[in-house]
Amino acid sequence: MSNGVVFIVDDDEAIRDALAWLFQSRGVMAETFVSAADFLSGWTPWHRGCMVLDIRMEGMTGLELFDRLQELKSSLPVIFLTGHGDVPMAVSALKKGARDFVEKPFNDNDLVDRVIEALAWDAAQRESDADAALLAARLASLSLRERQVMDLVLAGKLNKVIADDLGITMRTVEVHRAHVFEKMEVRTAVELAQLMSQKRG
Partner DNA sequence: CCACTCATTGTGGATTACCCCAATGCCGGG
Partner DNA sequence: CCCGGCATTGGGGTAATCCACAATGAGTGG
Binding site for a second copy (CB under 8 A): 82, 85-88, 90-91, 94-95, 100-103, 153-154, 156, 187-194, 196-198, 201
Size of residue set near DNA by CB under 7 A: 22
CA dihedral angle for residue 33, residue 34, residue 37, residue 38, rounded to 10 degrees: -50
27: partner contacted, choices a second copy, DNA, none (Cβ within 5-8 A by kind): none
Q: Rule CB under 7 A: choose which of 1, 91, 137, 158 binds DNA.
A: 158
- Give start and end residues of each alpha helix (H) in 53-188: 62-71, 87-95, 108-140, 144-154, 159-166, 170-184
Neighbour count for residue 153 (Cβ, 10 Å): 21
Residue among 130, 71, 79, 116 nearest 101 (CA): 79
The window from 20-28, 81-89, 139-147, 193-201 that contacts DNA (CB under 7 A) reads 139-147
Cβ atoms of residues 16 and 28 within 8 Å: no
23: partner contacted, choices a second copy, DNA, none (Cβ within 5-8 A by kind): none
The window from 31-39, 78-86, 123-131, 152-160 that contacts DNA (CB under 7 A) reads 152-160
34 binds DNA (CB under 7 A): no
Q: Rule CB under 7 A: choose which of 123, 170, 186, 195 binds DNA.
A: 170
Phi, psi of 170 (to 5 degrees): -60, -35
The window from 34-42, 74-82, 123-131, 158-166 that contacts DNA (CB under 7 A) reads 158-166
Cβ atoms of residues 148 and 179 within 8 Å: no
User: H or E segment at 38?
Assistant: helix 36-42
Nearer to DNA, 36 or 162 (CB): 162
Min dist CB 155 to a second copy, Å, is: 8
